[in-house]
Amino acid sequence: MPPHLDSQNDAERLLDIVRGLTHELRPNVPATGHLGLDHSLERDFGLDSLARVELLSRIERELGVKLSEKAFADAETPRDLLKQMASTVAAETPALAGTPVFAEKQVYHPPETATTLTEILDWHVAKHAEQVHITLYDEEEHTEDITYRILQEQAKALATGLLCQHGLSSGDKVAIMLPTGREFFAAFYGALYAGCVPVPLYPPARPSQIEDHMRRIAGIIANAQASILITIDQVKPLGRLLRAQCKSLRAITTIKDLSVPDAPSSFPELGPQDIAFLQYTSGSTGNPKGVVLTHANLLANLRAMEHASGITAADTFVSWLPLYHDMGLIGACMGSLYVGFRLVLLPPLSFLARPGRWLWAIDRHRATVSAAPNFAYELCANKLDDRDLSGLDLSCWRLAYNGAEPISARTIDHFVARFARYGFSRTAMTPVYGLAESSVGLAFPPLERGPLVDHVDRDALTRSDIARCAQADDHYALHIVSCGLPLPGHAIRIVDTAGRVLPERTQGRVQFCGPSATSGYFHNPEATAHLFDGRWLNSGDMGYIAAGELYLTGREKDIIIHGGHNIYPQELEEAVSQVRSVRKGGVAVFPASNAHTGTERLVILAETHESSAIERDRILAEINNLAVDLAGMPADDIVLAPPRTVLKTSSGKIRRAACRELYEHGAIGSTQRAPWWQIVRLGGAAAIAQVTHLLRRSAEWAWGAWAWTVFATIVPFAWLLIVLAPGLSLRRRIARACARLAFALTGLTLRAEGLQHLNNRTPAILVANHASYLDALLLTAILPAKFAYVAKQELQRNPAAAIPLRQLGSAFVERFDDARGIEDVRKLEERVRAGESMVFFPEGTFRREAGLMPFRLGAFLTAARSGTPLLPVTLIGTRSLLCAGQWFPHRSELKVLIDKPVHAAGHDWQAALQLQGAARRQILAQLNEPDVAA
């Protein structure tokens, strides 16, 4: 190694340079401080071939070494660069001290090479055993700190009991029914150390409910084939009852009985594909559905959520969420273990009794992160007295996750308005979407944006599944909250009942895929078969996508199709809950079969304490008015019932199917109102809706088939003319005429704005977003016939594409060979200097999901070095017309928006970088899609 290099700090100085350049190229990407010497320069740091040239220059300037261009191009990681530096000679200029752009890597974050939860816990113990991991509160507000060392010791003591006392072996299931507390963590991680599979169960709410509770969870224990149930002393006497129903159950025991202090020196080895635990979904007692989650699933989800949220070890997370629920166990507890932030846990029941404790705990610990279902925010907004909030300061709270149940725009507005005076910022409110089948998280919104509400025409959505925009002040509009973008590495799509992918703003079934996705339900092949659609998983939710973001409209099985309308029970339930004397959260809306007519009836079940006939009549009238306003028709039956009639899951969700069953069996009082004329009207409306739906689908199919006929006819004809025609100018005019003819025959309207910005006398460089196979065809139809396209080198291997592209003067560039790519850019500069105009797709590729991907630098360096004006071009509609992975087109509106020319401020790297940023900003402003690079 050259004498001027210090082997002790050499690696850090190199990493500072790499991270600094990454930050310049992708300033909106979360800090890359966790990326190290063995991460990929291209995949992880995002440095393409042109960026490497700048990196080479900075290494030589700041470290005083000289690297060969070939050796530099061969480097895959910063460690490869470090090895090459050891054999280099000193550069002619002295080394300059590098200025770190990022703070030092957090020592609390475990390495990304860790593959299991126990491996991460062991790492924390090895690095900082006495660091507090969790602070526990009890009902009396006493606290207990759990360090990493204590957690590991107690977990290993319990693992020893499972292995030595009960003879459990790897893969055996251990059911855990414990309240929030130290013992739960000892049981959960102890089962993992023993090589077993934990199965968290919700504990009974009150001692008087123990026997009934045990009968309900017996099906789950039997389905999981649990060998041991770890619980509280009061449950042990019921062992005979459980073992009679669960043949695999050997014993019911407690933490105290199990723990053995003398742990063995080694435990069973775990791998990333081993099952980490079984997460039984809410309401799964009748047909138990235990989601199988591996260590790899969980760590992939935690890694993706960390990236999307920007959360670090410096954060503090306050949670009261139950530990048997995925949001509390994975999002809060495992997130704390993975990222290393401090976790403060409150008992769930203490929150329900005194919601203010949650907010005061956030204030007291200056917590930056917390999460809760929508009802918790509504509870705080409605139930807390201002006198009990005096002095409260929530200005520290930057991420207020809202998920696990339907999110109400009204609740968000109410909570923000109520707590703004206490320092809460609207940008902190973060609606998210997840489900156990995707570990926990699936979609997060952009950071610090705050909630985004889509105002949708009610009739268009309920009658034709189209999410047409409406005015925000339209009292009849639906107000739907965005759940954000798919987590990194995950994908979401919307399909119809036949599995066909639907275009944007069309309601359908929500499907997803990604590394966090489960392999299925444990010992439930029928439910697993319904879960999968090829590589995609059915979420069971309905929704639509707009600008790449997911909007949920309801559960697939809960949406009521009545009289040709889609009725969303959550919205009606929320509205009825606001009626005076109706218990909030005590409303269920569901369809019920009419035995006399065979049709479905709209039923509203509402809880109330009122017994006065006058007051009950008032409540019925108000509820009926709400049904007419929101559903477009009166309810067929409104049932006023006493409190605790509406059935709910353990996590507080309405069990509509169970309420319907009670209703249809006459267990709830009902009123029969079904005159013949109403039945005829509803039946006719339903028939019309079905015919309309069929006609619309048929029209879509017919247009798609016609579009393919047009293209299949014109493309071979155009190919032949382009190949045979003399002269480049004529060939380009032929391509333009054929493209315009194809769009005209298919009836697609092309709208172009900004053509006046094109100067036919001087060369120009156009950069456009890339969303579809048809982008180049659309530009060919719109632009003057003077532009050459820059295409990827791989197309040269396809004669059908390569021959006409070469005939049209296209340039081919290498994306993967760095040295070749740099040479290709030099050739492009020469062509532009010679007077040619060129079109670049700087994203380099396209994908199904909406969003502008990172730009490669070739177009911008070419423009800067040649002094050529650059015009940002925004293409809108091609993704909906024909997206990636799909060959059946959907009719859509097409727009080409050409912005004013942008000129580089110089000819160097910084000028190209500024040009790239300006072009991205202009395209993003027009595109109305997320910035994937951020």
**pLDDT tens-digit series, residues 684-710:** 554 665 677 688 778 888 888 888 898
Closest Cα to residue 320, out of 350, 282, 281?
350
Could you give the C-alpha distances from 538 to 408, 432, 480, 494, 528, in angstroms and in order? 23, 18, 21, 10, 10
Mean pLDDT of 433-450: 94
Query: Which tokens go with 614?
Result: 């006058």
- Is residue 402 within 8 Å of residue 373, measured between CB atoms? yes
Mean pLDDT of 579-603: 75
**pLDDT tens-digit series, residues 509-545:** 999 999 999 999 999 898 899 999 999 999 989 999 9
Query: One-letter amino acid identity for 526?
Result: E
Residues in the chain: 934
Other beta carbons within 10 Å of 168 = 22
- Is residue 178 within 8 Å of residue 232, measured between CB atoms? yes
Q: What is the pLDDT of residue 358?
A: 95
Task: Please tell me whether residue 498 adopts helix, strand or coil conformation.
Answer: coil
Whether residue 64 has pLDDT greater than 60: yes
Q: What is the pLDDT of residue 398?
A: 96
Cβ burial of 497 (10 Å; 0-12, 13-18, 19+) is: exposed
Q: What confidence category does residue 105 fall into, taking pLDDT thresholds of 50, 70 and 90?
A: very low
Percent of the chain with pLDDT over 70: 86
Q: What is the pLDDT of residue 893?
A: 87
Q: What is the pLDDT of residue 110?
A: 84
The DSSP annotation for 209-239 comes to GHHHHHHHHHHHHHHHTEEEEE--GGGGGGH
Q: What confidence category does residue 73 fall into, taking pLDDT thresholds of 50, 70 and 90?
A: low
Could you give the C-alpha distances from 399 to 315, 372, 713, in angstroms and in order? 10, 11, 55
> Is there a shared CATH topology between the 10-90 domain and the 560-674 domain?
no
Mean pLDDT of 622-631: 81
How big is the chain by its Cα radius of gyration, in Å? Answer: 31
Residue with the two structure tokens 């049904």 = 627
Q: What confidence category does residue 299 fall into, taking pLDDT thresholds of 50, 70 and 90?
A: very high
**Which of 21-35, 558-572, 833-847 has the least mean pLDDT?**
558-572
Q: What is the pLDDT of residue 902?
A: 92
What gap in Å lies between CA 657 and CA 639, rounded to an integer?
A: 16
* Alpha-carbon 854 to chain mean position: 19
- Is residue 225 within 8 Å of residue 174, measured between CB atoms? no
**Sign (positive or negative) of CA dihedral 197, 202, 208, 210:** negative
Cβ burial of 512 (10 Å; 0-12, 13-18, 19+) is: buried
The CA-CA-CA angle for residues 660, 664, 668, to 5°, reads 80
What gap in Å lies between CA 899 and CA 925, rounded to an integer?
A: 11
Segment holding 726, helix H or strand E: none
Whether residue 137 has pLDDT greater than 50: yes
Mean pLDDT of 871-890: 85
Q: What is the pLDDT of residue 261?
A: 80
Q: What is the pLDDT of residue 735?
A: 92
Which pTM value belongs to this model? 0.69
- Is residue 529 within 8 Å of residue 299, measured between CB atoms? no
Q: What is the pLDDT of residue 245?
A: 75
Could you give the C-alpha distances from 750 to 311, 706, 767, 774, 928, in angstroms and in order? 44, 18, 19, 13, 19
Whether residue 8 has pLDDT greater than 60: no
Q: Does domain 117-353 sit in CATH 3.40.1790.10?
A: no
Closest Cα to residue 492, out of 50, 34, 3, 930?
930
Q: What is the pLDDT of residue 90?
A: 46
Main-chain phi, psi angles of 137, to 5 degrees: -105, 145
Segments of 307-460 assigned E as strands:
316-319, 342-345, 369-372, 399-402, 429-431, 443-444, 453-456
Residue with the two structure tokens 């040479």 = 823
**pLDDT tens-digit series, residues 163-186:** 988 889 899 999 999 999 999 999
Mean pLDDT of 127-138: 91
Q: Name the residue ranges covered by the structural domains of the chain.
A: 10-90, 117-353, 560-674, 702-927
Could you give the C-alpha distances from 775 to 444, 656, 713, in angstroms and in order? 29, 46, 19
Number of H helices, E strands in the chain: 30, 35
Mean pLDDT of 719-742: 90
**Which of 364-378, 523-537, 793-807 has the least mean pLDDT?**
793-807
Whether residue 321 has pLDDT greater than 50: yes
Whether residue 4 has pLDDT greater than 50: no
Mean pLDDT of 240-259: 84
Domain 10-90 architecture: Orthogonal Bundle (1.10)
Q: What is the pLDDT of residue 91?
A: 41
Query: One-letter amino acid identity for 314?
Result: A
Whether residue 212 has pLDDT greater than 60: no
Closest Cα to residue 412, out of 390, 446, 380?
380
Mean pLDDT of 269-274: 94
Q: What is the pLDDT of residue 24?
A: 78
**Sign (positive or negative) of CA dihedral 532, 533, 535, 541:** negative
What gap in Å lies between CA 575 and CA 587, rounded to an integer?
A: 10
Determine the topology of domain 560-674 in CATH.
GMP Synthetase; Chain A, domain 3 (3.30.300)
Query: For strand 369-372 and strand 637-641, is the pairing parallel, antiparallel, or unpaired?
Result: unpaired
- Is residue 658 within 8 Å of residue 638, measured between CB atoms? no
Q: What is the pLDDT of residue 773?
A: 86
Whether residue 599 has pLDDT greater than 50: no
Q: What confidence category does residue 60 fall into, taking pLDDT thresholds of 50, 70 and 90?
A: confident
Looking from the CA of 807 toward its CB, the CA atoms found within 13 Å total 22
What gap in Å lies between CA 453 and CA 472, rounded to an integer?
A: 9
The b-or-e profile of 542-575 (16+ CB within 10 A means b, else e) is bbbbbbbbbbbbbbbebbbebbbbbbbbbbbbbb
Mean pLDDT of 554-572: 68
Determine the topology of domain 702-927 in CATH.
Glycerol-3-phosphate (1)-acyltransferase (3.40.1130)
Query: Which tokens go with 198?
Result: 């934990």
